[in-house]
């Protein structure tokens, strides 16, 4: 069925108060193809997906169809009835429950006599569908014990379960965002099988190299409009960067950090152990950016939460700051010592959804904004606008709901919040997750600016390119222990990945 239209959209526009997010978007997605949607944060990608999913109602006048049948944009029931399914970045899985249970919530449970759930037949169906796409999983295994690729496979496979061959459209929102490199190919194999069955795959992604590998066609959005649409054949990362950025001379910033002399020792952590950590020690100096690399489960994700006091249960080890030793680190202790934290899960752990941008920025400093016991919203707004301007975010968005901002601008708002308390150290987990190449470069620049102003920074990231771009040295973790350290002059991607994988003969730099 390749070539037939799985999705047709004409004249799609969406206006929010003061912002026109989409401007007359036309889009055609062919059946049996992988169609990538690209664009920097704020380009309209998320709004497009949310209109398709029925979260947002579009402006009047747009028309759409799925396999020739009229789609009512902005109505979730219409999309569902026409076979449009969505797998969002958070996957929507209940980690405490099994793959079989998670399948049933979306694809329905197998029923036996009297309408009771047939648990045995449900497990067999789940295993059969997963095997069909090359994943041999125990259907009774809790999703908390599965790898990121296995969880993604469960979410995608349950979304396509029950479709007639070639009659579906599945929308994947950043499916590789949390996957280590070695598991991305497993996911790509699954996507290719779905595509080859005649199903259309709409892939929203910031990873341009992966788009070139997996996508047949791409649409680039910029400022809410289609800036480019065409085949990915013959395209390069550099060409896509130019299209996404909208300039002819934009060069993606991925240089190694400029080496400089360390400042005074600010923090020393000794023998940190927890769920994944198995005795990690590190030093952090003023004006220094230290990176943390490692695979899932290596301790990379746990370490920033331990250093910032956000995780205390089951943690052992000591912390020394300004020569004073502490047996534990709580959030209150960390804040009192001048340590600010930007968590990995921006949506669930960072931003406060019901609040405006200014309220998200000032939530850590409200006590300082009152005058003679009175709190003035105008003072809060000015304070937030100043800090947004400091991190090169648009201060005009301060009064808008933070959920209307792109991922990159949300991250800048969190950075403004962290810096507004005038910390001595800044701990950031996954600084560029779900952020496009343009916003990513801006975040890099802000991190280096913080270091130049004397802050000590600890950056934990699953993206090795992030670490090479901004860090003075990179600590490599494997199975909870530190197995290597790459200095500024030896921060080569292949060597770092080898050390993350536990390959022998990796020398400390």
Question: Which segments of 44-187 are extended strands (E)?
Answer: 63-66, 69-70, 84-87, 169-173
- Computed over its alpha carbons, how large is the radius of gyration of the chain? 24
- Which of 29-38, 78-87, 170-179 shows the lowest mean pLDDT across its residues? 170-179
Domain 5-245 has CATH 3.40.50.300: yes
Q: Please give the backbone phi and psi of residue 190, each rounded to the nearest 5 degrees, phi first.
A: -65, -45
C-alpha angle 320-324-326 in degrees, rounded to nearest 5:
60
Cα gap 457→476, rounded to integer Å: 16
% of the chain with per-residue pLDDT over 70: 87
Residue 495 clears pLDDT 80, i.e. is over it:
no
Q: What share of the chain is helix, strand, coil (3-state, %, to 5)?
A: 35, 25, 40
Relative to beta strand 339-342, strand 289-293 is unpaired
Nearest to 454 by CA among 430, 433, 426: 426
Residue 311 clears pLDDT 60, i.e. is over it:
yes
Nearest to 93 by CA among 144, 134, 49: 144
- Scored b (16 or more CB within 10 A) or e, 421-440 reads eebbbbbbbbbbbbbbbbbb
Does residue 501 or residue 349 have the better pLDDT? 349
* pLDDT-based confidence at residue 412 (cuts at 50, 70, 90): confident
Nearest to 86 by CA among 207, 169, 151, 191: 169
* pLDDT-based confidence at residue 278 (cuts at 50, 70, 90): very high
What's the start-to-end Cα distance of the chain, in Å?
54
473 within 8 A of 486, measured Cβ to Cβ: yes
Provide CATH 3.40.50.300 ranges for the chain: 5-245, 265-338+423-500
Cα gap 504→509, rounded to integer Å: 14
Q: Report the chain's mean pLDDT, rounded to a whole number.
A: 83
Q: Please give the backbone phi and psi of residue 135, each rounded to the nearest 5 degrees, phi first.
A: -115, 115
- Which of 17-21, 64-68, 408-412, 505-509 shows the lowest mean pLDDT across its residues? 505-509
Read off the pLDDT of residues 315-330 as tens digits, 9 standing for 90 and up.
Answer: 999 999 888 899 889 9
Q: Give me the helices (H) in 266-422, please.
A: 302-307, 331-336, 357-362, 377-390, 407-420
CATH, range 265-338+423-500:
3.40.50.300
Residue 235 clears pLDDT 50, i.e. is over it:
yes
Q: What is the pTM of this model?
A: 0.62
> Which run of H or E residues covers position 450?
helix 437-452
Cβ atoms within 10 Å of 454's Cβ, excluding its own = 13
Cα gap 284→290, rounded to integer Å: 7
């Amino acid at each position: 069925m390749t070539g037939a239209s799985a999705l047709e959209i004409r004249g799609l526009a969406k206006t929010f108060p003061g912002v026109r997010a989409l401007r007359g978007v036309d889009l055609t997605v062919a059946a049996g193809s992988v169609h990538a949607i690209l664009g920097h944060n704020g380009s309209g990608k998320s709004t497009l997906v949310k209109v398709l999913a029925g979260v947002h109602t579009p402006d009047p006048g747009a028309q759409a169809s799925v396999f020739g049948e009229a789609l009512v944009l902005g109505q979730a029931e219409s999309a569902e009835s026409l076979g449009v399914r969505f797998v969002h970045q958070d996957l929507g899985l209940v980690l405490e429950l099994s793959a079989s249970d998670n399948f049933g919530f979306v694809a329905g449970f197998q029923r036996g006599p009297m309408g009771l759930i047939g648990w045995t037949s449900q497990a067999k169906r789940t295993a059969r569908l997963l095997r069909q796409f090359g994943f041999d999983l125990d259907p009774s295994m809790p999703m908390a014990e599965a790898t990121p690729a296995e969880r993604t496979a469960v979410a995608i496979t349950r979304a396509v379960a029950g479709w007639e061959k070639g009659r579906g459209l599945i929308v994947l929102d950043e499916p590789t965002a949390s996957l280590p490199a070695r598991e991305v190919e497993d996911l790509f194999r699954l996507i290719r099988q779905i595509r080859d069955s005649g199903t259309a795959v709409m892939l929203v992604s910031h990873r341009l190299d992966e788009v070139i590998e997996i996508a047949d066609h791409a649409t680039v959005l910029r400022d809410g409009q289609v800036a480019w649409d065409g085949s990915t054949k013959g395209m390069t990362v550099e060409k896509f960067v130019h299209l996404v950025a909208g300039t002819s001379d934009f060069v993606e910033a991925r240089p190694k950090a400029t080496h400089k002399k360390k400042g005074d020792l600010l923090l020393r952590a000794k023998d940190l152990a927890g769920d994944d950590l198995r005795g990690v020690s590190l030093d952090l100096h003023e004006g220094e950016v230290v990176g943390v690399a490692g695979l899932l489960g290596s301790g990379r994700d746990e370490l920033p939460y331990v250093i910032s006091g956000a995780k205390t249960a089951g943690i052992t080890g000591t912390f020394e700051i300004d020569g004073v030793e502490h047996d534990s680190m709580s959030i209150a202790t960390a804040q009192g010592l001048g340590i600010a934290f930007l968590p990995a899960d921006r949506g669930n752990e960072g931003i406060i959804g019901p609040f405006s941008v200014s309220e998200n920025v000032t939530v850590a400093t409200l006590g300082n904004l009152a005058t003679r016991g009175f709190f003035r919203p105008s003072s809060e707004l000015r304070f937030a606008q100043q800090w947004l301007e400091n991190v090169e975010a648009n201060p005009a968005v301060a009064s808008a709901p933070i959920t209307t901002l792109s991922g990159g601008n949300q991250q800048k708002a969190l950075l403004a919040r962290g810096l507004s308390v005038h910390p001595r150290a800044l701990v950031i987990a996954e600084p560029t997750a779900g952020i496009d190449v343009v916003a990513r470069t801006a975040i890099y620049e802000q991190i280096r600016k913080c270091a130049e102003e004397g802050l000590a920074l600890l950056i934990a990231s699953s993206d090795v390119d992030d670490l090479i771009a901004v860090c003075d040295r990179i600590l490599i973790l494997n199975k909870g222990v530190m197995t290597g350290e790459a200095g500024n002059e030896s921060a080569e991607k292949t060597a770092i990945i080898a050390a993350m994988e536990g390959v022998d003969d990796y020398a400390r730099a």
